[in-house]
Amino acid sequence: MTIQEVSERYNIPMEILKEYENWEKDGSAKKAMGAWQYDDTDLERLSLIVSLYNMGFEGTEVASYMKLLEQEGTETQRMRMLNKKRYCILDQIHTQEKLLEQLDYLRYRIRKQQEAK
């Protein structure tokens, strides 16, 4: 599949696909008539890349993670990256829960005022 077909079929932003092509060291072997041809292995990697972006990883973090994935014995480093992102997401959730509690309290006060009338 071409970059355009992958982008349209799997709804992957073109920027991510172009980044992916730049990361891949054997990219010249994937080109047919000047255009990159995506195979199942590429689609599996892209699925992971899109997931990492959706989790809030920045481009450099995604590149680092994917580079580590190609190397043996990097499980601890990858786990550390995932744990760090997990803690960040949990912190965001905690902050959002506090805001939700504040919002609910204001709603409660308005209801009480309405009942008092």
Residue 31 pLDDT: 64
Q: Which long-range contacts (CB under 8 A, 24 or more apart) does 47-50 make?
A: 49/16, 49/20, 50/12, 50/16
Question: Could you read off the pLDDT of 42-86 as tens digits, one per residue?
Answer: 999 999 999 999 999 999 999 999 999 999 999 999 999 999 999
Measured CA to CA, the distance from residue 40 to residue 15 in angstroms comes to 20
Could you tell me if residue 4 is left (phi over 0), alpha (psi between -120 and 50 degrees) or otherwise beta? alpha
* Confidence tier at 24 by pLDDT (50, 70, 90): confident
In 10 A of CB 38, how many CB atoms? Answer: 23
